Amino acid sequence: MLIPCPYCGLRSHEEFTTLGEAGRVRPSGDDLQAFADYVYLRNNVAGRHRELWFHAAGCHAWLTVERDTLTHLIHGAWPVNETPTSEAHTGNEPANEAPAP
Amino acid sequence: MNLKPQPFRHNNCGLIDRNTTMAFQFDGRTYHGHAGDTLASALLANGVRLLGRSFKYHRPRGLLSAGSEEPNALVELRTDARREPNTRATVIELFDGLEARSQNRWPSLQFDLGAINGLLAPLFGAGFYYKTFMWPAAFWERVYEPLIRRAAGLGRAAMEEDPDSYEKAWAFCDLLVVGGGETGLRAALEAGRRGERVIVADEDFRWGGRCLAESTPVDGLPGAQWVEQILRELAQLPEVMLMPRTTVFGAYDSGVHGALERVSDHLSEPLPGQPRQRLWRIVAKSTLLATGSIERPLVFGDNDRPGVMLAGAVRTYLHRYGVLPGERAVVYADNDNGDVTAANLRAAGIDVAAVLDTRRGASVVRALGGTALRGVEISEGGRTRRIECDLLAMSGGWMPNLALATHHGSKAPADTGTRHFAVPKTQRKCFVDFQHDVTVDDLLLARQEGFTSVEHLKRYTTLGMATDQGKTSNLNALAIVAEAAGKALAEVGSTRLRPPYTPVALGAFAGHHRGRHFRPTRLTPSHAWAEARGAVFVEAGNWLRAQYFPTTGEDDWLTTVTREVQAVRSGVGICDVSTLGKIDLQGPDAVAFLERVYANRFQSLAVGRCRYALMLREDGMVMDDGTVARLGPQRFLVTTTTANAVGAYQHLQYCHQVLWPELDVQFISVTERWAQFSVAGPNARQLLQRVVAEPMTLENGAFPYLACSNFILRNGTQARLYRVSFSGELAYEIAVPADGGEALINQLFVAGEDLGVVAYGTEALGVMRIEKGHVAGNELTGHTTAFDLGLQRLVAARNEAVGSVLARRPALLEPTRPQLVGLRPVNQQQRLYAGSHFLPQGAANTAQHDTGYVTSVAYSPSLGYWIGLGLLERGPERHGEVLRAVDLLRGHDVLVEICDPVFLDPAGERLRV
């Protein structure tokens, strides 16, 4: 699998480490339930999925990578805070079943 | 050279180099062949047609094919350390001095006692392992498995270390053409003329594929000439790269292909400086599979007799290698290949006794003969008769070679061209999978026993599970199953082929990563110095660290470590701590950032001061610890543990880039930029004062505990000094740019000679930290909180700090949680063992009485007995209690007294002197 790093170009996935689902928002405040959801609940998408990847053997950037979990097709990679919004983000899961942030 | 004749070599046809003769051995006998031969073609030219014994029944086998699909002709190649089992004679390029041996036979290939398995065939049907070796269960490991392994072995692996080297490489192209036959070469030429970057890979050592094997002209030229012409054109195109002897064995995601280049396998041994093989990863924007087709065998009784060959292979041996595969042939086909083959054989002067075409109502019932084909029994117009022959050329049509396409998950398209598949009624074995000895009866039996799904059928009968992955057998098996089920072939489905297309040596996947080079070795700046002092090293991640420094007369590590600890506690010692992760962190928001990634506060940390720091995970568990030194108003030097240096840095990047990009802070790992030594012991100040330049003074008032500063050494080197202590003694960590590390440690030892300075390693470091009750990797398990470790006072209740909210979960603050304690044996002569579990006195050794475990132990030279740290339920309330530390695995049961984890100098007076 090759990942198109916006800084380094097309690089082998072996140079990266992954941290799973991207776009999760860290709660403010001290609500235990909100923090527990943030830490422990993940969407397990079959289809297009946005994930966090770290270019450990490259530029040390954390990237949002949109990858199809069924085909491993990569649809894009962006620096985390320059990631465009996308309808594909929630994958094929109905929006109302997604856990509350 | 005394040349023996090659009785089955044709006088003029063939593409071999008759001027280059090569001697080789098979089963100890010497033969001769020519450059351009394979081992198979050379053996055939010498009339050797029996090449091996089959896997299960030890049936005599010869060549079925002339390519990598070969299921029968597996031989042991080369000798000693280069001995390689299960190589296919059909793809071994002949070289002078080649030595090969047949496999799976005893005492000889002609007479093999294992062939008795054939008589016991009723025992060896589908699933016979599962049925026969059911009972008693204990027999599996001791009796059945060794027996089966010996009987069904396919050659012997070399027992010595592989003397050859392997390389890895990447290549990139616009178009990857897999297969260098007519289609592949034409495609490469067309793309090359458009200026595309093209890679053409072919497993063969000669370009042309079937062009070399057929008598049919290509563009009006004999095949081989046409190939030469197109190769000349391709050579003019600089962007076209031709890779012969290269098998593209797998197609992976993002256009990545795995390919194995056999750089030196056609030589007796690799040339100096050359690898044996090279593992390529080829990244292609698009890929053309010009992988050709594989011919289907026909199924009839004893269709595995040596002399029964695929018709296409017969033509290959004839046209490409100039070999006569027999003297009297019968041709048997269900398609036009039969007539073509017959014509080619006649043209070469071989007597063709019969051409049988199923479309004309003729079929072969069974082959006759034992170790060699003697004839066939045929059925024609309802009558059965026998024909004498020593060669049967058969063709069940060609199936496209789609292995690489299925690696991506696409199913092979249904073969609409498949004809009605008739299996003759015969008592003889009709083989479908030659390499795994799976017969038509096995398939039907498995079906009868309920294994109707093709995936189950495959696993139960092992069809297609040999090293050839069923290249010649899968489709026939599916057709037979479909026939039995009364279904169309497309309905029964197909099994998936998986990489690698042909076997790849593990050495090629390992490449240079073997032995000590399995992973990189990181050496500390004082490594050479420590080595010269006879240090014993220990691996810490990729690092090699000095574990202890034995001196003359010390033959026991405990003696050495005890001496080192005593020397530090009474004088001064030096330990290389460069492996600690070091992060240089700067920016206007540095304090705000640190207060979010660490549990502590840093606002109050003055410039020139250090602080112990605790890093939590978001779930509230301790992730790492270290020190934070404030070098300037907006500049900090953060240390992490050796083990977590990479992970902690990555986590900080995550916090900065993902969680709080608005914080204006920059940082980088400087772990390898600095050589850092701990100088510890009552004489540490005196020693260091001798190497620092004026006017720096280390007196307590000027440079107190937890101070840090930049300064200059007497020799002018820039350095940093941190007054931190892991040992509990008066201690400093002195850092210089890494390339000055060796000079510094030499300087320190010269300066400290009269003070009795010693070097100490990670063992003594560990002993002293246990004496002081400092937690380390054994306690920072990822399951422990600051509360568990008695560090709760460091955790400020701030929601924005990672982990601080979830660390406040009520269950994580329960006093019943296992918490840090110290322990010492009641009988001070007894030794303690890490990993022992705390059990009450008199309780049974069961999990329900388990109340915690011992994390770290050490012999304390300062106290004169063994001490330990542990995690014990309600630990802090139980100081003074006597428990058992039980290690059932190693048989230890020691009475221990629970105590405070700080064994030495609890007030911390020594480190502040």
* Domain boundaries, given as residue ranges, for chain A: 2-26+34-96
Q: What band does B414 get if pLDDT is binned at 50, 70 and 90?
A: low
Cβ neighbors of A19 (< 8 A, separation 6 or more) are A51, A52, A53, A54, B654
Bond into A6 cis (ω within 30): no
Over its C-alpha atoms, chain B yields an Rg (Å, rounded) of 38
What is the residue type of B574?
Answer: I
Average pLDDT of chain B is: 93
Using an 8 Å CB-CB cutoff, list chain A residues near B800.
28
Q: What band does B139 get if pLDDT is binned at 50, 70 and 90?
A: low
- Side-chain-side CA neighbours of residue B280 (13 Å): 24
Pairing relation of β-strands A17-21 and B622-632? unpaired
Model-level pTM? 0.88
Q: Are the beta carbons of B350 and B343 closer than 8 angstroms?
A: no
Q: What is the predicted pLDDT for the residue at B798?
A: 86
Beta bridge partners of B391: B329
pLDDT in tens, B224-262: 999 999 999 999 999 999 999 999 999 999 999 999 999
The tokens 């207060």 sit on which residue?
A: B595
Render the burial of B417-446: b for 16+ CB within 10 Å, e for the rest.
ebeebebbebebbbbbbbbbbbbbebbbbb
Per-residue pLDDT averaged across B301-321, rounded?
98
Q: How far apart are CA B736 and CA B674, in angstroms?
A: 6
Pairing relation of β-strands B536-540 and B543-548? antiparallel
Q: How far apart are CA B677 and CA B574, in angstroms?
A: 6
Per-residue pLDDT averaged across B417-430, rounded?
73
- φ and ψ at residue B684, rounded to 5 degrees: -60, -40
Q: What is the predicted pLDDT for the residue at B382?
A: 86
Q: How far apart are CA A28 and CA A49, in angstroms?
A: 25
Q: Are the beta carbons of B181 and B290 closer than 8 angstroms?
A: yes
Q: Where are the beta strands (DSSP E) in B211-297?
A: 240-243, 246-251, 256-261, 277-289, 293-295
Q: What is the predicted pLDDT for the residue at A101?
A: 33
B661:A30 CB<8 A: no
Distance from the Cα of B798 to chain A's closest Cα (Å) equals 9
Q: What is the predicted pLDDT for the residue at A86?
A: 67
- φ and ψ at residue B282, rounded to 5 degrees: -105, 120
Q: How far apart are CA B888 and CA B869, in angstroms?
A: 19
Burial class of residue B300 in the structure, from the number of CB atoms within 10 Å of its CB (0-12 exposed, 13-18 middle, 19+ buried): buried
CA angle B458, B461, B465 (to 5 degrees): 55
- Side-chain-side CA neighbours of residue B392 (13 Å): 37
Say which of A30, A72, A79 has its CB closest to residue B799: A30
Name which of A21-30, B181-190, B688-697 the model is least confident about. B688-697
Distance from the Cα of A38 to chain B's closest Cα (Å) equals 9
pLDDT at B431 over 70: yes
- φ and ψ at residue B351, rounded to 5 degrees: -70, 120
The DSSP element (H or E) to which B187 belongs, if any, is helix B182-193
Q: What is the predicted pLDDT for the residue at B897?
A: 98
Q: What is the predicted pLDDT for the residue at A90?
A: 43
Q: What is the predicted pLDDT for the residue at B146?
A: 67
B808:A30 CB<8 A: yes
Q: What is the predicted pLDDT for the residue at B30?
A: 96
pLDDT at B599 over 80: yes
pLDDT at B110 over 90: no
pLDDT in tens, B321-376: 999 999 999 999 999 999 999 999 999 999 999 999 999 999 999 999 999 999 99
Q: How far apart are CA B301 and CA B308, in angstroms?
A: 11
pLDDT at B866 over 90: yes
H helix count then E strand count, chain A = 1, 6
A window 45-74, beta carbon within 8 A of B:
52, 54, 56, 60-62, 72-74
Per-residue pLDDT averaged across B669-697, rounded?
94
Q: How far apart are CA B184 and CA B202, in angstroms?
A: 9
**Which of A18, A28, A35 would you mutate first to test chain B, the one with the most B CBs within 10 A?**
A35
**Which of A25, A60, A62 would you mutate first to test chain B, the one with the most B CBs within 10 A?**
A62
Residue with more model confidence, B798 or B410: B798
Q: How far apart are CA B501 and CA B250, in angstroms?
A: 6
A1:B661 CB<8 A: no
The DSSP element (H or E) to which B23 belongs, if any, is strand B17-26
Distance from the Cα of B617 to chain A's closest Cα (Å) equals 10
Catalogue all structural domains in chain B, each as residue range(s) with its CATH number.
17-151 (3.10.20.440), 166-292 (3.50.50.60), 295-398 (3.50.50.60), 418-500 (1.10.10.1100), 815-913 (2.40.30.110)
- φ and ψ at residue B398, rounded to 5 degrees: -105, 140
Per-residue pLDDT averaged across B594-610, rounded?
96
Burial class of residue B599 in the structure, from the number of CB atoms within 10 Å of its CB (0-12 exposed, 13-18 middle, 19+ buried): buried
The neighbour count for residue B714, using CB atoms within 10 Å, is 13
Q: Are the beta carbons of B249 and B259 closer than 8 angstroms?
A: yes
Torsional sign, CA B218, B221, B223, B226: negative
Bond into B550 cis (ω within 30): no
Q: How far apart are CA B885 and CA B40, in angstroms?
A: 68
pLDDT at B488 over 90: no
Say which of A12, A40, A54 has its CB closest to residue B650: A54
Q: What is the predicted pLDDT for the residue at B290?
A: 97
- φ and ψ at residue B140, rounded to 5 degrees: -55, -55
- Side-chain-side CA neighbours of residue B515 (13 Å): 5
The tokens 């995550």 sit on which residue?
A: B654
Q: How far apart are CA B837 and CA B885, in angstroms?
A: 5
Cα distances from A81 to residues A16, A65, B836, B891, in angstroms, run: 18, 12, 49, 57
Q: Where are the beta strands (DSSP E) in B578-725?
A: 581-586, 610-616, 622-632, 635-640, 666-669, 674-680, 708-712, 718-722
Using an 8 Å CB-CB cutoff, list chain A residues near B805.
30-32, 35
Q: Are the beta carbons of A26 and A65 closer than 8 angstroms?
A: no
Q: How far apart are CA B899 and CA B300, in angstroms?
A: 82
A35:B806 CB<8 A: yes
Name which of A2-16, B73-87, B107-121, B697-711 the model is least confident about. B107-121
Quick one: DSSP state of residue B196?
Answer: -
Say which of A17, A39, A80 has its CB closest to residue B806: A39
ipTM: 0.89
> What secondary structure, in 3-state letters, does B272-330 show?
CCCCCEEEEEEEEEEEEECCCEEECCCCCECCCCCCEEEHHHHHHHHHCCCECCCCEEE
Q: What band does A94 get if pLDDT is binned at 50, 70 and 90?
A: very low
Which strands, in side-by-side order, build the sheet including B373-380? B362-369, B373-380, B383-388
pLDDT at B408 over 90: no
Q: What is the predicted pLDDT for the residue at B229?
A: 98
Q: What band does A93 get if pLDDT is binned at 50, 70 and 90?
A: very low
Using an 8 Å CB-CB cutoff, list chain B residues near A35.
618, 805-806
pLDDT at B2 over 90: no
> What secondary structure, in 3-state letters, does B498-517 show?
CCCCCCCCHHHHHCCCCHHH
Report helix, strand or coil for B341: helix
A62:B283 CB<8 A: no
Beta bridge partners of B102: B75
pLDDT in tens, B33-76: 999 999 999 999 999 999 999 988 889 999 999 999 999 999 99
pLDDT at A95 over 50: no
Q: How far apart are CA B417 and CA B45, in angstroms?
A: 35
Q: B31-34 long-range contacts, Cβ below 8 Å, gap at least 24?
A: B31/B4, B31/B6, B32/B3, B32/B4, B32/B6, B33/B6, B33/B94, B34/B94
pLDDT at A59 over 90: yes
Percentage of residues of chain B with pLDDT beyond 70: 94
Kindly list the residues of chain B whose beta carbon comes within 8 Å of any beta carbon in chain A.
252-256, 281, 283, 618-619, 646, 650, 653-654, 657-659, 661, 799-800, 805-806, 808-809
The DSSP element (H or E) to which B400 belongs, if any, is strand B398-400
pLDDT in tens, B253-307: 999 999 999 999 999 999 999 999 999 999 999 999 999 999 999 999 999 999 9
pLDDT in tens, B710-742: 999 998 999 999 999 999 999 999 999 999 999
Q: What is the predicted pLDDT for the residue at B122?
A: 65
Say whether domain A2-26+34-96 belongs to CATH 3.30.2270.10: yes
Per-residue pLDDT averaged across A92-97, rounded?
38
The DSSP element (H or E) to which A49 belongs, if any, is strand A48-54
Quick one: DSSP state of residue B125?
Answer: S
Q: What is the predicted pLDDT for the residue at A98?
A: 36
Q: What is the predicted pLDDT for the residue at A40?
A: 96
Pairing relation of β-strands B328-333 and B351-357? parallel
pLDDT in tens, A17-47: 999 999 999 999 999 999 999 999 999 999 9
Using an 8 Å CB-CB cutoff, list chain A residues near B648.
none
H helix count then E strand count, chain B = 22, 44
Q: What is the predicted pLDDT for the residue at A89?
A: 45
Cβ neighbors of A67 (< 8 A, separation 6 or more) are A48, A49, A50, A51, A73, A74, A75
User: DSSP assignment of A58-83, as one string?
Assistant: TT--EEEEEEETTT--EEEEEEGGGP
